[in-house]
Amino acid sequence: MLLLALDTATPAVTVALHDGTDVVASSSQVDARRHGELLLPAVDRVLAAAGVRLDAVTGVVVGTGPGPYTGLRVGLMTADTFGLALGVPVHGVCTLDGLAHAADIEKGPFAVATDARRKEVYWATYADSRTRLTGPAVDRPADIAERVAGLPAVGAGALLYPDTFPDAHEPEHVSAAALASLAAERLAAGEELDEPRPLYLRRPDAQVPKNYKVVTPK
């Protein structure tokens, strides 16, 4: 097994290789505006660090979000392209599940929250680092304060809104290493992973203007 994992659902552009036993190489850069520019060079670096060619990959793992439309689709389209070109399966993993898997919290329940912008968070709750209880969902922090009261939390959304998440912890962003490790565990256990389809949870910011000027000749 050699899994290529990647995620662009948060400001982190993150890539990793997992051989079925451990992560053999990884790369993460935080830049919310350059997912498209940074992802493929990161894949090249990770492959070079591991000393393998792309055609050695036996499966692709991609974070499915939730996340902003523009960034999220970069990773999903790249994963689909690799899968088609290599003839290997593409597996989806919820980005919040990856954050939960990397959380340094001894026992649950706990929450995971990422920044959804518009003063909202993408969030879910977990019984432990592998078991999601609720979500994912998108809400204003104040609207979910009672539902997450008393829970430790991880992620950029938790760190950004301490009034709702007073017991906030690292990691801030997801890592492909955590996604790959979680996917490898689930595959080894014979579990089915998600389809590589985006969890947008809300409409994109970009909209077609309702009253645009026609410039083509009649």
Please choose, from the candidates 38, 39, 92, the residue with its C-alpha nearest in 3D space to the C-alpha of residue 65: 92
Q: What is the pLDDT of residues 53-73, one digit of tens each?
A: 999 999 999 999 999 888 999
The predicted pLDDT at position 120 comes to: 96
Q: What is the pTM of this model?
A: 0.90
Kind and range of the H or E run holding 83? helix 69-86
- Residue 89 CA to residue 121 CA, distance in Å, equals 31
Q: Residue 208 has what DSSP assignment?
A: -
Residue 25 predicted with pLDDT over 90? yes
Note whether 152 and 111 are within 8 A (CB). Answer: yes
95 three-state secondary structure: helix
Q: What is the pLDDT of residues 95-114, one digit of tens each?
A: 999 999 999 887 779 999 99
Residue 207 predicted with pLDDT over 60? no
